[in-house]
Amino acid sequence: LVAGLEALKDLPCETVDHHRVALWVNTGLMADAMISLERGAEGVGLYRTEIPFMLRDRFPSEEEQRQTYRDQLQAFAPHTVTMRTLDVGGDKSLPYFPIEEENPFLGWRGIRVTLDHPEIFLVQIRAMLKASEGLNNLRIMVPMVSNVAELEIAQMLLYRAYDELLEEGFQIEMPPFGVMIEVPGAVYQAKDFAARVDFLSVGSNDLTQYLLAVDRNNPRVADLYHSLHPAVLRALRAIVVDSHSQGVPVSICGELAGDPAAALLLMAMGYDVLSMSATNLLKVKSVVRSVTLEQAERLLSEVMRLPDTESINRVIDATFRNTG
């Protein structure tokens, strides 16, 4: 941990003029949770449930999942933990559930897999709901949604699992339900999605890959993978406007939120929650605490006028050189 940053751990994440932005973390293992708490995380914006699945040699049972989820929820309580339902396919595969496709990033992944296997989805949702009993700090979100029907079916399965558990005698609250915006088509439907859910969360890793048609893991095209591309920035801003037009909060949980300069732009756009890897948390907090909201907004409006990533990076570098 960089010396000096540690002192920020318990200070609020707010600008010089007291505009607050929530800094949450992305987790997968219990170790992430511990590091996050040490650094003063105020919640979990993305708990990647596929990570505990990857550590096993078969699908974890409902009870095994309940215990794993309970540990996360308990570690962060009373702070919110946003659990994402299983996101396999694409670059993430389970050894005991192989998916072989020509074009995995455009294929069977995320919600597409779990809606085709409602038994996997329902067991997972039941385990999450049971784990939240008495804590009530759970949010559930679904990945890779590309149309309204997917989110409505997922929601219906959530209600079904919830009703079953009430009948079985569990005392649980219905958790907020959200969808990830990570498919370009979803950007243009953010309003339709927001009208049906409790929150949106942007997956900027996949959104960048799909908007720019650049495989996020292919080194040959890595120099085209620009999360600060004008097209990505316009999409990110449009999502906030549409989400807020429905009175729905919006988070971002891709790597971009952990980049201090990008975090300022995202805060200026109006993102309610920036969720990042714990390693970036205090760096981002230190930068947020060094500016006014107006300065961040000015940087955003300057950057939004530029035609390419190179000039955007130049402006950002110059700004950071001037302010130290």
C-beta pairs of 59-68 under 8 Å, 24+ apart in sequence: 59/94, 59/96, 59/97, 59/120, 61/123, 62/123, 62/126, 62/127, 62/130, 63/127, 65/123, 65/124, 65/127, 65/128, 65/131, 66/127, 66/130, 66/131, 67/131
User: Which spans in the chain are helix H?
Assistant: 30-38, 50-54, 62-76, 111-116, 118-131, 148-167, 184-187, 190-194, 204-212, 230-245, 260-269, 281-288, 293-304, 309-323
Residues between 108 and 127 with contacts to ligand PEP, criterion CB under 6 A = none
Binding of ligand PEP by 45 (CB under 6 A): no
Please, which residue, 172 or 253, has the CB nearer to ligand PEP? 253
| Residue 98 CB, nearest approach to ligand PEP (Å) | 19
Cβ atoms < 10 Å from Cβ of 218: 11
Task: Select the residue interacting with ligand PEP from 212, 253, 282, 303 (CB under 6 A).
Answer: 253
| Residue 207 CB, nearest approach to ligand PEP (Å) | 7
* 251 vs 206: CA distance, rounded Å: 15
Binding mask 182-211 for ligand PEP (x = CB under 6 A): x--------------------xxxx-----
Residues between 206 and 245 with contacts to ligand PEP, criterion CB under 6 A = 206
Closest CA relative to residue 144, chosen from 112, 103, 178, 102:
112
Binding of ligand PEP by 280 (CB under 6 A): no
Residues between 165 and 184 with contacts to Mg ion, criterion CB under 5 A = 182
Half-sphere exposure of 133 (CA within 13 A, CB side): 14
| Paired tokens of 267 | 């805060």
Please, which residue, 97 or 170, has the CB nearer to ligand PEP? 97
Percent of the chain as helix, strand, coil, to the nearest 5? 50, 15, 35
Please, which residue, 138 or 211, has the CB nearer to ligand PEP? 211
Binding of ligand PEP by 254 (CB under 6 A): yes
Binding mask 204-243 for Mg ion (x = CB under 5 A): --x-------------------------------------
| Residue 253 CB, nearest approach to ligand PEP (Å) | 5
| Residue 89 CB, nearest approach to ligand PEP (Å) | 10
Please identify, among the stretches 32-40, 160-168, 201-209, 279-287, the one whose residues bind Mg ion according to the rule CB under 5 A.
201-209
Binding of Mg ion by 90 (CB under 5 A): no
Binding site for ligand PEP (CB under 6 A): 46, 48, 87, 182, 203-206, 253-254
